[in-house]
Chain A
């Protein structure tokens, strides 16, 4: 297994990837330790936690966690497992609790700060000389931090802070999160589904796969626009990546947003261009609703323009749970918010006319590796090996042309660095 992992580094540089990383259970188990238990994972948007007691439950890899806003307005996160006998404490996926959380098994109860308040027959424990209530609270997630509305958690106390982890990629994230003073919010609700594929396949797709759009999604484009997806080769476009976080984009301002087929949205985005250019500069203003896609390593992705925000939660080497939300600026007119709400679900949800064709591609790209001989064939990730350029304005590693595999190669290089490193100290910057 370690040979497979180390070979990924040299493979990626040469533009090939070993299929076993999408299939092997051993590699998956190591991913849970070295990727999901060590990196910063998206947990929630602050708008999902509006008041004291608001909570969501979600996963960091295979660990289920509660994320809750305390009485002091501080957001905290804890392992969703009672320290007594391990039972899951909070079964609801979201909501608001007035006081805290109570385990259904023995009534162990925990305040919004995770402290143990008591249990059924509390007197028995009070009478126990060695029992210290202060030592049996909920286990906190080691690190928690927020970037412009996005709450991230990390189970590794020795991991670099969120700022270092995201690095210069924050410059790009501001296109989504900071193009207006008001900040962002999720539209209410969440659409969840399962796909029988390896989590890295959709994550890499959003990291850098502009190429598939014109072929996979032809039927979706014809449904929404009566026209195929335009070809992008030759137009000014880029792939950029920092620490394995990836954004591929055009500068057409409305390429993704246009897929709703709703002129009100295109007009709205165009009306904001000057204001966003004054705030973020010309290039970022042109990215606003452009033909593009993003992955924040390892498993958070979004589509600017459709405003579809998602995580790929691993459920095994061949299964993911996809959770999708719609992220919008808080101060949007209601009419435009409604266009985004309906349009995002019409295009990119399990019933979405675009997304419907992705699932099968990803499932069968994963399943094919069941074949022992098939699994020995390397996959081609060699597009754009000479496309690197120094750009005067764009931070990070920059490549000409969004029809490219550069971001995918960077994604797997980051993956291999983390998988091969026993500690964060051994992980090189990329």
Chain B
């Protein structure tokens, strides 16, 4: 049963930036702002436990700061690096001025 979780005010995440959110009953979530469009993924790298929101955002990819695994943010696909395991992605939107993510 999915649920909508309100995270923060829209505009708190700058273009090109990312932020980690701890959500009760769920793994932490990362929100990315790519050119004004928001994306939500699991914050934890599928390789080890590093936080992807602390990684470098390069175009539409994020580079894990620990061992430099590259993920495609919109799809969660694992690209260059050590692992082929993707990260989960979630639907996200702005509702009444709040960033809302749809979690399972």
Q: Which residues of A contact B (CB under 8 A)?
A: 71, 97-100, 102, 107, 109, 111, 117-118, 120, 122-123
Contact = CB atoms under 8 A, between A and B. Distances in A.
Contacts of B55: 99
- The interface centre, meaning the residue of A71, A99, A111 with most chain B CB atoms within 10 A of its CB, is A99
Among all A-B residue pairs, the 9 with the closest Cβ atoms: A99-B68, A99-B63, A118-B66, A109-B67, A98-B63, A102-B67, A98-B70, A100-B68, A117-B65
Given A71-B56, A118-B50, A97 B66 contact: no
B54 to A, nearest CB: 10
A158 B80 CA distance: 41
A200 B49 CA distance: 52
A98 B66 contact: no
Contacts of B68: 97-100, 102, 109
19 contacts: A71-B56, A98-B63, A98-B68, A98-B70, A99-B55, A99-B56, A99-B64, A99-B67, A99-B68, A100-B68, A102-B68, A102-B82, A109-B66, A109-B68, A117-B66, A118-B67, A122-B48, A122-B50, A123-B49
A102 B65 CA distance: 11
A157 to B, nearest CB: 30
User: Of A98, A107, A109, A123, which is in contact with the most chain B CB atoms at under 10 Å from its CB?
Assistant: A98
B58 interface: yes
B48 to A, nearest CB: 7
The contact size tier of chain B is 10 to 19
Interface in B41-91: 48-50, 55-56, 58, 63-68, 70, 80-82
B58 A98 contact: yes
A97 B80 CA distance: 10
A120 B50 CA distance: 11
Nearest to B69: A99
Contacts of B49: 122-123
A98 B78 CA distance: 13
Interface of B: 48-50, 55-56, 58, 63-68, 70, 80-82
A99 B65 contact: yes
B63 to A, nearest CB: 4
Given A98-B80, A118-B66, 4 more contacts: A99-B63, A99-B67, A122-B50, A122-B66
A235 B89 CA distance: 75
Nearest to B79: A98
A54 to B, nearest CB: 14
- Max chain A C-beta neighbours (<10 A), residue from B49, B64, B65, B68: B68
Nearest to A111: B65
Contacts of A109: 66-68
Nearest to B80: A98
Nearest to B58: A98
A71 B56 CA distance: 10
Contacts of A98: 58, 63, 68, 70, 80-81
Contacts of B48: 120, 122
A340 to B, nearest CB: 34
A290 to B, nearest CB: 46
A99 B70 CA distance: 9
